[in-house]
Structure formats: structure tokens, C-alpha cells
Structure 1
Amino acid sequence: MKNMIIFEKDIEKVYPGINMGILIVRGISERADCKKEDEATFLKELKKKYEGFTRKELKEQSPVDAYAAYYKKFGQSYHLLAQLDSMLKGKKICDSKSPLLQSMFFNELESMLLTAGHDLNKLKPPLRLNLAAGNEAYQSISGRDVTAAAGDIILSDSARVFSSILKGPDYNTRITSDTSDVLFIIYAPPGIGTPKVRTALKNLEKRIRAFAPDCKTEILQVLDAQTC
């Protein structure tokens, strides 16, 4: 599976030290009776973790600082920081009824590492990590037509671009109740070490196994330009 994702040559030049976490899990059943993670317990633990931090202080913490620096290049703010801030103020965390999507979102907030989930069976490997030219258009997960920002990190398969850091994942490969084989990607811009990414992948795997104990992990790996 070494060539599951190919890093194009300009990636490392523009973003030295960038890496990417990959988790592929097969055989997931999204039955209606799947037990979701307890939201109240998760919220309590998350509030405990970030208790006493101001938003400015959170922005200066790793790994948020690395994302803040990346998004600032494009005149934007790291959206997960705003979601975390809202959640800590008591707003509802996750409206999804899917334990798979809930697990991804909880794990994302816990680690603050940008994560995208895709239905593996709707992708056509090999996958390529590249720099956007600024004309790559696709349908976002909300169904809205978007165009990648020039210089942003994008991910494509042999048919199309299906994800980018700034615009998020696409609609065609989104996780649904029919998804049984899933690909999770953690985008880690420069400044985020491999250990943080690996820990987040393992925690996500653990969350999935809690409601789908018979699933099989095919890949759990952190990749960089040298290994790809």
C-alpha cells in the first residue's frame, strides 16, 4: 500500500514537513441500533481538557497554531477553532445520526487535527496530494459548487479532485449509511509532528471499533513526501 497516496514533487518544496495520516477500515455496519459515543461524557471531558483557555491561547497551542498559520496564508481562520469555541459555550456538537461521522467529528475536536472521511469504494486509486492551481472545481459535501484556492493542498483520485484543506471533502465520496469501507485522512501542515497524527488515528480506530467490533483495519499510517 506504499503508493496509496502519491505526494507530487512541489508539495515538499512549498510545505516542508507536511505529512498525512491515513486510516482505512473495512466491514463497518451502520445499523440503526449501533451505539453512538455518549455526547454528554465526551463534552465533559473536552471541557476539562480546555478549561481555562481563552480563544487566543487555544490558537497558540499545538496543533492549532500550525493550522492557524496555514489558513492565514489564504486570509482565513481555522474553522475547527470556532467550532470548539462554540461547543465549549454549550452549543450542540454533532447533529449526525451516524456513529461513523460522530466518531470522526469527536476525534477531530479532541485532537484538533483536520480530518476528512470518504467512502473508499467511491474512490479510484492511486490518490495524489498536490497543490491547487486555483481552477479545480468540485461539489462540496454540502452540495455547493466550490473551486479550490490556488496553493491550497488538494487530494484527487484518478478521476477528480475530491478534497482540499480549505474547501473540505466532496459530495460524491461522502460517508453515508451505506458506507462499509472508509478512508480517513488527517491533513497535517508543517509544524505538526508524526506522533500527534498517529495518536489521533489510533483513537479514531478505537472509537470505530467501539460500535463496529468486527471491522478490519487495513491501513493506519502517517505518510510524508519521503515515504511517498
Structure 2
Amino acid sequence: MRFIQKDSEPASFTTWKQQANENWQPTWENFQKPEKTEVLAALLQEQGYICCYCGQRISAPSSHIEHLKPRKHFPAEKLAYSNFLASCPGYPETENLEPKPLQEFCGHQKSDWYNADLLVTPLDPDCAAYFRYTALGEILPTIAPTREPAAKTTIERLGLDHSKLDRGRREAIEGLGLTNLLPNLTNREIQQFIDGLNQPDASGQLPPFCAALIYQLQSYLGGSS
């Protein structure tokens, strides 16, 4: 999981909500194009086109607007941009399958669950510190006693240890050749590598599963000179 710095909501979304009058009120149910499309585009841009929870690559067709605080329990937050994230569909496969398979991870898997004490949120600047990643792509909770319960619960509730996500993280790590590359890098070179992974490319995209990649790099800091 990677920290998401929220931006201001799109001006079109603000204008749409300001049209409220005695005969019409903006609701989640009548929130449609073009405003909804523009909101999703803004979310994707501020997240670097990766899922808010698992970090895999997403686009407008392969994502949805996720409410961090579920609509069912927080009706006042239904149209709060500060409560919006872009999540992957949570399907075990990426193909357009019919009928749609069960959603097994991330936003749809989280569903209406919310616990402020046990949900690690990507809006927490320190969210990355709750998780560890192995070279095989597995996600594990931190061993820090004060954070381990929330990390473990979040992994379970959001299905972040799904085999598809393990495979994606492993392929990302292997794709960068980190296992063979890291022993030959100095601390300065590792830090430069980390800084690069934290920066969107020319198209505004972050590397998929960059949190796992950064964790692998950080695990070597201090071990080289």
C-alpha cells in the first residue's frame, strides 16, 4: 500500500453539487457522466494509475470509485471527494468474463466493512510501514506490536494476500531484476532507485506494485556501502 496525497476535487464535480435546489439534490445515485468520469480520471491521476489498495495497474475501464468509508454507514460521505479512491475490480483474472466472477480482493471485497482502528488506509502517510513483502511477492503484516493487528486485519479483509496479487508482486520484483541487482548497489544507488519508483513517469504512471518494490530496496539499505 502506498500513501495517496489527495488533491482538490474537479471543478466540474463542485459545480454539479452546487446546482442543488428545492427540486433537485445531488446524490450518489444520480452521479453520472460527465462529472463521474472526470472524478475517476482525477483519482487515477493522483494515484499514479495504480489501485489504492493492492497497487496493481488500473485504468478507467478497469477501476471503480471506492468509498473508503462505506456509503451504507457514512451517508454524509457519499459525495465527499476526500472519501473517494480508485480501486481495481478485485477479479482473480483480468479478462472480461461473463458472468462476472466473484470479487476477491480490494474495494469490492472490503464492501461495507470499516473499522477505524483496524483498517490501514492509503490516506495515512505512514501506511506503508504496516506491511512487509517477500521476494516471492507475499504480503505480510509488520512485526511492530502496535501496528500488527491492523495490518493483519487489513490483509485479510481486503484479500491482499490473494494468489493473483502475490504473482503480480513477484513478477514486478523479478522484472526489475532486484534479486540479482541489489547486492551490487551502494546505499546511494538504492536510494536513487527508491526515489525513482516514487515518481510518476511522463504519462503520470507509477510502477505497478511499487510499494513491494520499494520495500525490497529498503530492506538492503544499511547493508551496502
| Alignment TM class, shorter chain as reference | under 0.3
More helix by share: 2
Higher strand share: 1
TM-score, with normalisation over the residues of structure 1?
A: 0.26
- Taking structure 2 as the reference length, the TM-score comes to 0.26
Question: Between Structure 1 and Structure 2, whose CA radius of gyration is higher?
Answer: 2
The structure, 1 or 2, with the larger RCO (C-alpha pairs under 8 Å, 6+ apart) is 1
